[in-house]
A and B are shown apart, each in its own frame.
Chain A
Amino acid sequence: MSTPMYVTESGEAIHGIMAEFATPADLYHAAEKIRDAGYSKWDTYSPFPVHGMEGAMGFPRTILPLLVAVGGLSGACLGFLMQWWMSSVDYQLLVQGKPFGNFTDGGWQAFIPITFECGILFAAFTSLIGMLALNGLPRWNHPLMKKERFLSSSDDRLFVCIEAADRNFHPDRTRALLEGAGATSIELVED
């Protein structure tokens, strides 16, 4: 990270402002307010999924399905090519009088199950790895983890954190926004 725009009194860079909310409904409506205020680098944290939160946060549709389609199709193509090269180019083996698998002799039909399975395999890998990558995972640590209070977000507390890297971020205005959205407590998070 380059020179931080905001620092604490002790000179530490600020990661963002964290606010706690009492109920999922409060969190949901706060998310709508933050979304409408034009923030983009922020997130909500809850111990359970809050249905419709992606809409309240204004997430665009994920591109993961597209990645999975590309992954699945490349897997299928690779699987087919692998079998074709092995059984009809590199080492032709006669099995039960079936054709070798040149494209014209009908033997390619024997390749379909493996082609299908390779497609599934690559699609599954792409969806898992792609999901992790799009979520910025894996990562060693997160600034929020330094906050004692935040740890209960995996238990029974609900939080919002707006990052200082957001171009709309302003220490006072962002704090005021969160207060106006009904936060029960607000604190700065050091980087």
Chain B
Amino acid sequence: MSQAMSNSILSRFPQLRGENISFAPGSGGLGRVVMGAGVIAIAACGLIGYFGPADVHAKQALAAYHIGVMAVMAMCLGALFLMLVFHLTQAGWPSPFRRQIENIAGFLPIVYAMVWPTIIAEIMVGGRLFQWLTDAKDGNYLLNHKSFWFFGGGEVGHGSIPFPTFFLVRAVLYGLIWTYLVTRLTSLSREQDTATDATPFRHARFTSAWGMLLFALSTAFAAFDWLMSLDYKFFSTMWGVYYFAGAAFSGSALTVLILAVLRGKGKLEGVVTHEHFHDLGKLMFSFTVFWAYIAFSQYFLIWYSNIPEETAFFLYRSNYWAWLGILLMLGHFIVPFLIIIFRGVKRNPRLLGAMAVWAIFIHIMDIYWIVRPMVYSQMPDPPHGPLVGLTDVLGITGVVAIFAGYLIVRIPSRELVGVGDPYLVEGLEHKNYV
């Protein structure tokens, strides 16, 4: 966008100036405090886990941290998905808030790095959460069958744990793919601010085309590796889509939340309007339905085929955990469905923002439901006490706080709108005619 063109946009849309689309320099200091609190919470979680009684606490602490990381990673992946799909379809309406999606996705390389402590700790202690590491010592038929997937081949069960080569190779690959896609698309978007034509966005579209394919595969396989493998005997080909559904749901919810907060602070007045909230609400609505569709389909096929390795997944989540499953049914589908379906809710930034908070909470509970029952699954007599403990709260909120702090620091650090965006006029004039 040439200087003359961006000047003409600025004279047509005076709301694209000054305080409305930027913060005073030095804003976001609170973010560092929040990040610090997050680090302290994670450290406390780890200490309780390490010095707590017996094996359960260490497992619980690790699981809590892992839940937080996987839930936040899903939100970042959801944002990356939105970036890719908006570039790919040359969508005009998201241009006023494209920067906020990029801000969320910017945390993806960091949250990816936060998986490594878990992986390294697991390999060093021989598997507390990743049961397949523990069982590789003695070996069994099912694990032998998957030994290529985890260990790169060979038989397991020789009294020691083989090095999980292929598992680590894949973990590195996900990091490379995600980091490249996020940094490439973000830097192209920045380049566009000063570019003389739409070349950077054309490159972004090209990157998104093959990037979307790699995104789909890497997200699905990361979900297989880091969530489904907690019970290595279990398998579900739908798992990747299930994780993606939660990712897209929470990612669009977080975008809504950020925009609602910014609007509440008097920013983006006349830039991000109720028309944009309306469409983001549609995204939230469609992904809550999509999640329910996938979640039910996964359950239904397992219920119908009645194969022991598969049904065990739901067996672990019945009894003491049944309340959580019911909470998910209600909170992840029925309640958001019945609320967001109304046009008035979607067009009201406050209401939709409140629904976004709920969506993020229930998404974390979804990951909790996936990870947490596995902590007790191997015990002959699991505790009947409180199923949400101090370590859980500390570990999860710790990771979420680091993420929140990152966003609080990052969002005010540059202009809230990319004024060189070639679709900006279309985005500003966006209306829902239906």
**A109–B431 alpha-carbon span in the complex (Å):** 41
Interface pair A109/B433, CB less than 8 Å apart:
no
Contacts of A98 in B (CB 8 A): 304
The size of the chain B interface, using a CB distance under 8 A, is 7
Q: How far is the CA of A110 from the CA of B299 in the complex (A)?
A: 11
Question: Dominant SS at the A interface?
Answer: loop
Interchain CA distance A189-B296 in the complex, whole Å: 58
Residues of A within 8 A of B433 (CB): 51-52
Assess the A112–B431 pair: CB atoms within 8 A.
Answer: no
Do A96 and B300 contact each other (CB < 8 Å), given the known contacts A51-B431, A51-B433, A52-B433?
no
Contacts of B431 in A (CB 8 A): 51-52
Bound complex: CA A97 to CA B304 (Å):
10
Chain B facing A: main interface SS:
helix
- A38 at interface by CB-CB < 8 Å: no
Interface residues of B in 414-434 (CB under 8 A from A): 431, 433
Quick one: which of A94-113 are within 8 Å of B by CB?
96-98, 109-110, 112-113
Q: Measured between alpha carbons, how far is A118 from B306 in the docked complex, in Å?
A: 26
Number of A residues near B (Cβ < 8 Å) is: 9
Q: In the bound complex, how far is the Cα of B431 from the Cα of A177, in angstroms?
A: 31
Asked if B303 is at the interface (CB within 8 A of a chain A CB), the reply is yes
Residues of B within 8 A of A96 (CB): 304, 306
* CB pair B303 A109 closer than 8 Å: yes
Quick one: CB contact mask for B116-144 with A, threshold 8 Å, 1 for yes? Answer: 00000000000000000000000000000
- Is the beta-carbon distance between B300 and A109 smaller than 8 angstroms? yes
| Docked CA distance A71–B116 (Å) | 51
In the bound complex, do residue B296 and residue A110 qualify as a contact, i.e. CB atoms below 8 Å apart?
A: no
Please indicate the chain A residues that have their CB under 8 angstroms from the CB of B300 in the complex. Answer: 109, 112-113
CA distance A43 to B306 in the complex (A): 60
Q: Which residues in B have some Cβ–Cβ distance to A below 8 Å? A: 296, 300, 303-304, 306, 431, 433
A interface residues (Cβ-Cβ under 8 A, vs B)? 51-52, 96-98, 109-110, 112-113
14 contacts between A and B (CB under 8 A): A51-B431, A51-B433, A52-B431, A52-B433, A96-B304, A96-B306, A97-B306, A98-B304, A109-B300, A109-B303, A110-B304, A112-B296, A112-B300, A113-B300
